[in-house]
Structures are given as structure tokens and as C-alpha cells.
Structure 1
Amino acid sequence: MFKLRTSKYRHVFCDDPKPEHTFTGYRLSTVTGDQAYISASAKYFSLALSGGGGPVAVGRHDRPGRFEIGRCSIVQGHKGSVLDMDWNPFDDSMLATASEDTTIKLWGIPDEWEPTGEDGNAKSGERLSDSLTDLVGHRKKVTLLKFNPTAANVLASTSADYTVRVWDIEKGEAVSTFSDMGDLTQDLIWDVRGDSYATSCKDKTVRIMDARLGTVASSIDTPHEGLKSVKLVFLGETGKLLSVGASKQSARELKIWDLKNLEKPLLTEKIDTASGVLMPMYDCDTNVIYLSGKGDGIIRPYEFEDKAPYLHKLNDGYRSTVPTKGICMVPKRGLDVMKCESARLLKLTNNQGVIPLSFVVPRKSDAFQDDIFPDCSSCNPAHTCEEWMAGSSKPPETMCLDPAQAGSNKTKKKTFKTVAQLQKEVDEANKRIEYLEQKLTENNIAF
């Protein structure tokens, strides 16, 4: 008997935003690599600019408009170009940057940060040059960064020195190191619990690593026979891994693997014969995969199901003649749920700036649609770095997206201070101590 498959996201659509809703004026960095070139938190997004000192532009989602070089606020403190960036999932204002100068810097974006005003025009601002902390240990340029999705202040990084390091950013030291990559790393991703991470490499091997020990738990030899970069995504807690790459004939393809049996893929699907690298983005709450390629303007949505045939194509997605340089997904907490916005992708272009692409599920009701917005990851960590290193394994803490229950989603934000701020506090404390000692001496009081 024929059965039609139903899906809540079958008719998801995306239209081009109006010009006044885009972010323009950026002079992008010319450095190339396997990174996504753009990263976003629920409040900000960041991208690397051209110029000395590794400048990074940080924009606000609610402040579209024109950016002006030399006038707007930027983040600048490296001695080389910035290659990759990632935002702390538990602090929307903490940014990590990886640079050619072999260091990783953590930045705290101030609350009053506003490169463009409400009218869309550029605003004058100061340069942020004092980082919260620097992570030093790699011997060559740092190429990729990724924060742990459940443990507080845990960051993974890869470098041209063929190592992968996991850092405790609060202590500023590496807690595990894998130093046998063999070649440049093409992708670095965490699983949903943050217990392990997976890497793809130019040596055509995908490694699934024990993050705490820095050892290889399992691997896939030559998942794709082509020469294009291989990108990876863990498919939630299903025990499946998605990889995209190229076939022997250079056709772009997608494969799904069972982590319990990596000898052969569960699914192999040819996408097309375009030349750009495919970048997959997975929404683990809705099980929707968005496939975008560098250099082309198409975004293909698929819905994943943990049984054969595994993937179901959702309508035509998004099509444009403007090529994509880089792309990232905004966390669910930053979406406009009352407009049924199920996902927002930030598309970085060479000449037209940053284009926000909202994927919307058509609904007639103005009420909150709880069936298309399940609980998503909150900005509260499931455990500390010490608990995680001791073996704690927990799924991400979740929150309700219903604006009516916004008060119940309390966050426990930990504030960090720069070295300059701490030094100022120490100097003030020393002055106060000196003053009190003087008063005690004047009154002949022993201390």
C-alpha cells in the first residue's frame, strides 16, 4: 500500500531579504582555507577583515546596515591574519579567534558594542585590543576552532603543526593533545554530548577521537575518493555521522555512516558535479540538514530520519546567482519564533556583504507553534570542565523557545576580565592597603 510521508518542515521556504536587512561594507580577508569564514552567536556574528593585526568585524543581528572601515568598532589584537572563529555556546559575547601567529585569543564583546546604528549607518567606535586570555601552545598557524557543546570553557583547536588540542580556557592550558594527524585538518566537530570529536584530514582519514584522552577511538579510511575537502556532522544522538566530499569522478556526494560499523556507509547520495566544497549544517532539534557549497548559490534542505532511506529532500530550498564564500547557522535562541523562523543562515559573499537567510515554516496562526519548535540547547553548560574531564557525560541543557516562558530560562553567566582590568583592580587594592596602613601607623596601631 502506498503511503505518503508527512513532515512539518516539508514546505519550509526562504526568500531573499530586503537590501536594508543585509550587512554590507566589509573588506574581507584574502586568506583562504577550510574554515567557514563567518561565525555567529545568538546576538553577534563575526568575520575576518583584510589588514594588519588580524582585524575581525563583529556585527549585531539586530543592527543591519553599512560597515565603514576605519570608523566602526573592530576586534584587533593578533600579529597575523585570523583564520577561524567560534562563539562560546554559553556566553553570546565571548569570541575565540585562531590566527596565523600560532595563538588563540578569547575576547569579551562589551554590551554597548554597536558598529551600526538603528538607522543602518555606521557608528564611530573604539578598537577592542585587550583579549581576555591567550592560549599558546601550537607551533604553527591555528586553522580551526570549535567549542564543546556541553562542557563550560572547553575549546578544541587544530593547527598546521598536525596536532589537535583541547583547552581549558579558564586555566589557559591544554587538557589533551593528539599529535599524529599526518596532514592538515579539513574539519573539526564535536558530538552532541561533547564526549568525542571527529576530524577529517588531507590524508583522507576521518578520525573519531576520545576528547579527554586525545586518542583515536575509531576511523574511516578514504570515506570519499575525490580530492575535495571532507566535511562532517554528527547526527544528534542517533549514533550516525554524515560526511560530504567528492567521488573519484569529482562529483559531490553525501554519505551517512553508522558509528558502530564504519566499514561501509549506510547511504551514499550524489549531489551534483559543481567544484565548490560542500558545507553541511545540522539542526539537531528538527533533524533538518542544510547543504551549501562554497562558490555556488544553492542551499539544499534535507530531513534526516534514523531509518532507511535516512534522507528526505525538502522542496527546492534556496537558490541565488550570488556565490557563497562562507556560511554559518545562528543558534536557535536568536531566531524570531513568532514568525515561524525555523533556521537562519548567514551567507557571506565577496561583494554583497552578509545576507541573512531565514527559513520559515508557513503557518496561518500567530500563536507560538510548539510542534515545530521543540526545546533547544540553552546557554547553561551541562557540566564544568573539571566534571567533564572526570568522565561526566550529559546531553546539552535545554530551554523552551516560547516567549511566554522566557522568564523560566534563567542563565548562569560567568564573567571574565582582561589582564588590563585585573591589573587596574590590583593597583586600586594596593593603593587602598597603603592608605589603611598609613592610617594605622598614624594612630600607633600595630598590624
Structure 2
Amino acid sequence: MSRQVVRSSKFRHVFGQPAKADQCYEDVRVSQTTWDSGFCAVNPKFVALICEASGGGAFLVLPLSKVWEIPDGGLVVPLREPVVTLEGHTKRVGIVAWHPTAQNVLLSAGCDNVILVWDVGTGAAVLTLGPDVHPDTIYSVDWSRDGGLICTSCRDKRVRIIEPRKGTIVAEKDRPHEGTRPVHAVFVSEGKILTTGFSRMSERQVALWDTKHLDEPLSLQELDTSSGVLLPFFDPDTNIVYLCGK
């Protein structure tokens, strides 16, 4: 008599549950721009999201507790003037990412195929990665956990590992996924990267790579045949990757 063996996994009991209506915001008109983005940023107290507005550029900051005051000696009047304006891109900016360990260091990537690293305290760009590094549209940029490297995915079908201080490409992988749809890449634990993309038959895929050996993936899984691009988000506290699709 055979006995069925259930594979042990710490992800077996990870489930999501929708919040109750009194803990939700309704009728929030999220931007309809076609840029593949999460359109929001969240910390333990607030959620900020890009909303639909004439001219673009508008966003909302909503308290998670739904109490319309900011505690801990925070804001007492609306912010109407920026603390600093960062000017350097020649076309629309679509990606921004704070450095994970250094204070006041911000990365931005735009439709001009340029990545800039800013000192927000002075408003100056301290590093420029120009179109010679990314000859086409930049789909994603992510800092490593210690901020020593960045990984990027580009429309030229390459994923690059870059050392930003020197502006040099440490490693790159051509066509991590065979499909023509956008690829996104994020750093995960132990210096590895995870990519999402599509197979040649338009199946959605997720792959795990060792940054020191990008010839073949450590793991490659086909998920489904949905057409939506998957956006990966890594939570270092739980060591879980969340895949979000529109």
C-alpha cells in the first residue's frame, strides 16, 4: 500500500486575505499610463500612488490608518513646494528607487535610456549611466541589498548587473526569456536575481539566476498563458517574492 508524500514547504500556508471595506479606499482613479509599474509605494504608515490627472504627475498620499493627521511631529500644513527638484533627464522619468543603505541617494531611470544617481541633499547627479549602457527602453532597475550593485532589464533583451560607483557592467545575460514581451529583474537573497518574462510560446515565466554564472538559470518555471507582465517584489524579511500583474 503506497503512501502519498507531501513535499514540505514554508510557502504552503502563505495566503492573502482582502481587507474589510472599512479599511479600504474606494474610487481612487489610478493612472492609466501604459508604463509597466506598480504605481504605488508603501511604508508602515502611508501609501502613495499615482492617480489620473490632466497633465500627469499627480499622486495621492493616504494614511493606512485612515486618520487624517500625520503623527510624531509631522506635517501641520499641506506641502505645496518641493524640498528639491532634480533636473537631468531629457524625457519622462518612469523609475525611481532609494538606495537601501545610504541616506539621500536616489536612482532614477527615464525614457531617454539614462540612469541617474542623485544626492538628494544637494540636488546634484553624482552618477550617469548613459545610452551607451542601455541602448533602448529600460524596463526595470533594482538595487542589491547592500547597495553595491544594480540589476537592470532593457528592451534590447539583456539583463545587466552594474557596479554603479565605477559605471561598469559586471555581468549580463542576453535573452533570459525567449519571448518578446518585457522582462523585469530584482535582486533576491544571497546575491541572486529573479526575472519574470515570457517564453517563445507566450507563457509567463519566472527564473532564478546566480549573478556569477548567468549561462543557465538555477530554476525556470512556466506559470500560465496570461498576457499581463508580472512585476516581482522581494521581501527580504520573509524571503518571499510577490508577483503582481495588471
| TM-score normalized with structure 1 length | 0.50
Question: What is aligned with 2:17?
Answer: 15
Q: Distance in 2 between matches of 1:52 and 1:128?
A: 20
- Measure how far apart 1:7 and its partner are: 4.5
* 194 and 23 in structure 1: CA distance in 2 versus 1, 3 angstrom threshold: same
Alpha-carbon shift at residue 14 of structure 1 (Å): 2.0
Deviation at residue 4 of structure 1 after TM alignment = 5.8
Once the two structures are TM-superposed, the CA of residue 239 in structure 1 deviates from its matched residue by: 2.5
Residue 85 of structure 2 corresponds to residue 134 of structure 1: yes
Whole-angstrom CA distance in 2 between matches of 1:239 and 1:47: 30
What do residues 70-112 of structure 1 show as CA deviations (whole Å, max 9, x unaligned)?
xx99xxxxxxxxxxxxxxxxxx99xxxxxxxxxxxxxxxx824
**Whole-angstrom CA distance in 2 between matches of 1:30 and 1:6:** 41
The question of 1:56 aligning with 2:59 is answered: yes
Q: State the number of aligned residues.
A: 239
Match of 1:227 in 2: 180
1:143 is aligned to 94
What is residue 210 of structure 1 aligned with on the other side?
Answer: 163
Q: Which of residues 82, 93, 111 in structure 1 aligns to 2:74? A: 111
Aligned-partner Cα distance in 2 for 1:273–1:28: 26
Counterpart of 2:177, as a letter, is: H
* 1:176 maps to 2:139: no
Letter in 2 for 1:143: G
Match of 1:160? 111
- CA distance in 1 between partners of 2:238 and 2:59 (Å): 32
Native 8 Å contact 2:37 2:231 kept in 1: no
Residue 216 of structure 1, CA deviation: 1.4
> CA–CA distance in 2 between the matches of 1:270 and 1:149?
31
- Percent of aligned pairs with the same amino acid: 37
Cα shift readout 1:16-59 (whole Å, capped 9, x = no counterpart): 22111111132232222022111112211111122246221100
Task: Please give the residue correspondences for 1:278-293 in structure 2 after superposition, counting only pairs within 5 Å.
Answer: 278-293=230-245
Contact 2:136 2:154 in 1 (8 A): yes
How far the C-alpha of 1:143 sits from its partner, in A, is 1.3
Contact 1:157–1:166 (8 Å) recurs in 2 = yes
Which residue identity lines up with residue 32 of structure 2 in the other structure? T
**What pairs up with 1:303-382 in 2 under 5 angstroms?**
none
CA RMSD of aligned residues (A): 2.4
What is the identity, as a one-letter code, of the residue corresponding to 1:214? G
2:216 is the counterpart of 1:264? yes
Partner of 2:192: 240
Please list the CA deviations of residues 153-177 of structure 1 after superposition, one character each: whole Å capped at 9, or x if unmatched.
1111111111111111111111111
Q: CA offset at residue 243 of structure 1? A: 0.4
What is the Cα deviation at residue 224 of structure 1? 1.1
* Shift in alpha-carbon separation, 1:155–1:112, aligned structure 2, 3 A: closer
Residue 158 of structure 2 contacts residue 175 of structure 2 at CA under 8 Å; is this kept in 1? yes
Unpaired stretches in structure 2, ≥5 consecutive residues? none
CA–CA distance in structure 1, aligned partners of residues 198 and 9 of structure 2: 29
| Rg larger for | 1
* Native 8 Å contact 2:171 2:212 kept in 1: no
For normalisation by structure 2, the TM-score amounts to 0.89
State the alpha-carbon separation in 2 of the partners of residues 14 and 195 from structure 1.
Answer: 33
**Letter aligned with residue 163 of structure 2:** D
User: Distance in 2 between the 1:57 and 1:193 partners?
Assistant: 30
Contact 2:95 2:109 in 1 (8 A): yes
Between Structure 1 and Structure 2, the one with more helix by share is 1
Which residue identity does 1:57 align to in structure 2?
L
Letter of the 1:203 partner, please give it. Answer: D
